[in-house]
Chains A and B, each alone.
Chain A
């Protein structure tokens, strides 16, 4: 047995004819935060659901907490905390009831559930809404409740599918803080997100998926070093004017990426490239030199599908 909490080899998921996950290998080590990035439809949620033991794999090997989901599904799920992409709270029950009922599904005693619910409501700052029906909560509050619910059984492994979608900046930072604390307490987290800053902040390691395959893997810093340059020069042009420039500038930078509204020039020294561009008579409406981010990696690896 390896020391991976989740280990997949050649993992596949088919829905009828369509193959959503086309053979991926992953290893999630105990105590780390592991991220899935990828454009819509990449197969992130499909993978998460297989790990959550609610969707049987079509092919390949999968071990979660050292067990086989096909055999030990309930034992594994007992130790997972799941935040699905779409909330599935019972909207006709109160906030507190949602936690109570859910805790009972894990076999917890009523007393234990009661204590835990109070603690979790405080953790996600919903104590003053405890007796309101979930129906009346805002979208972000529902999300926080779903996260609280996923913690009711003190999970060893958490699966968070876009946990911060719909949250305001405060709530996002609150959640990052909470996730960080969970990590410090020894929990392992698997997270999918479309926010690159979130991935950069939270993840120790991540994979980028596209079209059901893993196209890159590593820590955020590794990925930036490997797939991007140190700096990026952004040039904005008036609508319709940028089309001719990439050819003129191509040799100045390591790589040129054309987005609908701007041109990205990847280079070690952004200022130098800018000066060179000016010398060639390029006249953008605005310019920006910045450090490379995960977003640049993402665009590079999956860019084609974003432009369309």
Chain B
């Protein structure tokens, strides 16, 4: 090699911006295309089973209750529940994808370390990883919607909007959690605690199975900070056609802000951890 070749520091093409993000997504997709089977049960079958169990089981328990009819706004319980479970499953899938696999890629598999030894920067890797999670949510949400539409539980263009809202909601939770996971040095049970003390209560108390007005007044504000409550309100409103513009805008605003903050935190944390 001569000094001459070094006068051309850019001999090989280096990936810029979105091209790099796309390569990261492609790598994650390669992994997924070999390992997708395990995700079907938790991200598609589980919400469907929940819909059947609660929609039909619980639906039949409250079929004659006027209080219940009042609470659900008069729609059958199955229809009331279906869009909410779309958001729930987005959040649950997001929670899983944003916890163990992230820590593992830093710590056990060390694949992130391998990726950042290439032209791809930690920031691009972070965005690529989040984009991949979003794609996962789009895919599993789509599969769930397809099935419930085939069975005629819900229909109409609102369903498409609900799909988008659910993905947004999942990502609004995913992004900050990915940042958190990237900051974990030890497994230390932090994730178990997140699942038990954040994800589960969020699932149960975000107006999924019953309106939050059924909760004691003091705990209702807790639902307001839960991205799932905003996502549920949006998805359900879109499907039932009861969305009010002002409320919708504020739900959306909250989720978008959470997402933005989460993305910035993730990029920053990836940078910190991968350039020590």
Contacts and interface: CB of A to CB of B under 8 A. Distances in A.
Contacts of B118: 77-78, 102, 105-106, 153
A69 B211 CA distance: 55
B176 to A, nearest CB: 25
Contacts of A149: 114
B219 to A, nearest CB: 42
A1 interface: yes
B187 interface: no
Contacts of B120: 74, 105
B166 to A, nearest CB: 28
Contacts of B11: 79
Interface string A57-68: 000000001110
A104 B110 CA distance: 18
Contacts of B109: 88, 90-92
Best-buried of A66, A67, A77, A105 by chain B (most CB within 10 Å)? A105
A109 B17 CA distance: 17
Contacts of B31: 90, 92-93, 101
A90 B35 CA distance: 13
A78 B12 CA distance: 7
A105 B119 CA distance: 7
Nearest to A100: B30
A66 B23 contact: no
Interface residues on B, range: 35 or more
Interface of A: 1, 3, 5, 15, 30-31, 52, 54-56, 65-67, 72-75, 77-80, 82, 84, 86-94, 97, 100-102, 104-107, 149, 153, 156, 186, 188
A82 B1 contact: no
A87 B24 CA distance: 19
B117 A84 contact: yes
Contacts of A75: 9-10, 14, 119
Interface in B4-28: 5-6, 9-15, 19, 23-24, 26-27
Contacts of B274: 54
Contacts of B113: 54, 84, 88
28 contacts: A5-B6, A30-B2, A55-B276, A65-B6, A66-B9, A72-B9, A74-B14, A74-B15, A74-B119, A74-B120, A75-B9, A77-B119, A78-B118, A78-B119, A84-B113, A86-B110, A88-B111, A91-B109, A92-B34, A97-B34, A100-B30, A104-B26, A105-B15, A105-B119, A106-B15, A107-B12, A153-B118, A156-B1
Nearest to B118: A105
B79 to A, nearest CB: 40
Nearest to A103: B118
B3 interface: yes
B31 to A, nearest CB: 6
Given A55-B276, A93-B34, A102-B118, 4 more contacts: A90-B31, A101-B27, A106-B15, A107-B19
Contacts of A77: 117-119
